[in-house]
């Protein structure tokens, strides 16, 4: 029986889970206070602090490290790569450590996986489907300025997981399907999945597409340029407006979509308008990706935490239900997705080399 440890570092939390084959053994979300994190200047410096916490929690749960067959960490901002499971090697550690693409808490995922797996006999460290998965078709990379090509950055782990889940539920494989998948969480990414490849997707990290609970999404470029040069805002101010203080936060002062839904359902007309506007932008992006697939979509999948909201899902379905079958997989079970990625390799699927 294979035991797999999943590790998912967030900016103020560390999630860990242990699976025995497909069975969940334990699941924890450990919150980190600003006081605990203040001594660390860079994200990389936090890895020993987080590793010690993970090891203590495993010990408290009576889980022996020697029983682990694999540790799978959330993939970070490494160079663009194909979808898949990657064994952690020195090149990957270097890119995660020195943040060659960008610094993000998820960069610690592969580092923690390697640190924990080292010294455990027959235990390997992996990452799976990081946000930089890039399978775009060439035509999708071109924007109106050669200096600003379109990039692939999205919630690849959950996109791929729900694609496989839908395929299994319909007695087929992900690589045979055409799907439009919309992940709706703190960020929103909508992708065209064509026979196992994400051939187009909005840049959901900080770029364009639907606005989200905390991200501004696509904006009027002319007005954005004016804002940048009005003499009132610094570079850091603008970045925070785009990611962190955009979207629902900018309009309503909160990035909690469930709270906005509660306000809307209680009769707050502004909250209702803004949450519907967000759903409207998601539905438009779904329509764009449906066109990318030339109207040949086996299903449209709505997923992520916001997919729990009947108000949001209902609004989107009214706009898109005539296009294809709409399937809802609410939430984002990243811990299971990481573990199942590791399990596929342990059962014979070949891992990829970074």
- The answer to whether the predicted template modeling score (pTM) of the entire model surpasses 0.95 is no
Predicted local distance difference test score (pLDDT) of residue 289: 98
- State how far the Cα of 116 lies from the Cα of 68, in Å rounded to an integer: 10
Cα(238)–Cα(211) distance, rounded to whole angstroms? 15
Q: Does domain 156-330 have CATH number 3.30.420.40?
A: yes
pLDDT in tens, 209-237: 999 999 999 999 999 999 999 999 999 99
Q: Where in the chain is the domain with CATH 3.30.420.40?
A: 3-130+334-346, 156-330
Residue 191 tokens read as 């992708």
Tokens of 58: 């495993």
The pLDDT score that the predictor gives to residue 11 is: 81
- Tokens 């005539």 found at: 322
Q: pLDDT tens digit string along 127-171?
A: 999 999 999 999 999 999 999 999 999 999 999 999 999 999 999
Give yes or no for a contact between 178 and 297, defined as CB atoms under 8 angstroms apart: yes
Terminal C-alpha separation, the chain: 28
- At 304, phi and psi to the nearest 5? 95, 170
- pLDDT at residue 82 is higher than 80: yes
Average pLDDT estimate for 173-187: 96
Return phi, psi of residue 26, to 5°: -155, 155
Residue with tokens 């026979």: 195
**Token pair listed for 243:** 């990611």
Residue reference for tokens 């790569």 = 81
Banded pLDDT at 273 (limits 50, 70, 90): very high
d(CA 125, CA 132): 19
Superfamily classification of domain 3-130+334-346: ATPase, nucleotide binding domain (3.30.420.40)
| Residue 9 clears pLDDT 80, i.e. is over it | yes
pLDDT, averaged across the chain: 95
Query: What sign does the dihedral 330-332-336-340 (CA atoms) show?
Result: positive
């Amino acid at each position: 029986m294979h035991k797999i440890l999943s590790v998912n570092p967030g900016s103020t939390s560390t999630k860990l889970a242990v699976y025995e084959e497909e069975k969940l053994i334990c699941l924890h979300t450990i919150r980190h206070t600003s006081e605990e994190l203040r001594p660390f200047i860079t994200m990389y410096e936090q890895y020993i602090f987080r590793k010690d916490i993970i090891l203590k929690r495993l010990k408290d749960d009576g889980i022996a490290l020697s029983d682990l067959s694999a540790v799978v960490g959330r993939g970070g901002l490494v160079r663009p790569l194909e979808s898949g499971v990657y064994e952690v090697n020195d090149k990957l550690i270097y890119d995660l450590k020195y943040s060659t693409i960008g610094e993000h808490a998820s960069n610690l995922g592969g580092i923690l996986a390697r640190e924990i797996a080292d010294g455990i006999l027959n235990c390997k460290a992996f990452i799976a489907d990081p946000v930089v998965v890039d399978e775009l078709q060439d035509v999708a990379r071109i924007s109106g300025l050669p200096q600003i090509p379109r990039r692939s950055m999205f919630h690849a782990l959950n996109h791929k997981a729900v694609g496989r889940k839908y395929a299994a539920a319909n007695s087929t494989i992900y690589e045979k399907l055409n799907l439009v998948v919309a992940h709706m969480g703190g960020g929103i990414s909508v992708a065209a999945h064509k026979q196992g490849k994400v051939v187009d997707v909005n840049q959901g990290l900080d770029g364009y597409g639907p606005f989200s609970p905390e991200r501004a999404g696509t904006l009027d470029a002319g007005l954005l340029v004016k804002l940048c040069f009005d003499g009132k805002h610094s570079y850091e101010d603008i970045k925070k407006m785009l990611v962190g203080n955009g979207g629902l936060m900018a309009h309503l002062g909160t990035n909690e979509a469930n709270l906005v839904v509660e306000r809307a359902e209680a009769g707050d007309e502004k909250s209702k308008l803004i949450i519907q506007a967000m759903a409207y932008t998601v539905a438009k992006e779904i329509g764009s990706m449906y066109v990318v697939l030339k109207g040949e979509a086996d299903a449209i999948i709505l997923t992520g935490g916001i997919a729990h909201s009947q108000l949001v899902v209902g609004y989107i379905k009214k706009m898109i239900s005539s296009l294809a079958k709409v399937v809802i997989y609410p939430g984002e079970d990243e811990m299971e997705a990481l573990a199942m990625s590791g399990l596929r390799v342990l059962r014979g699927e070949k891992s990829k080399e970074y």
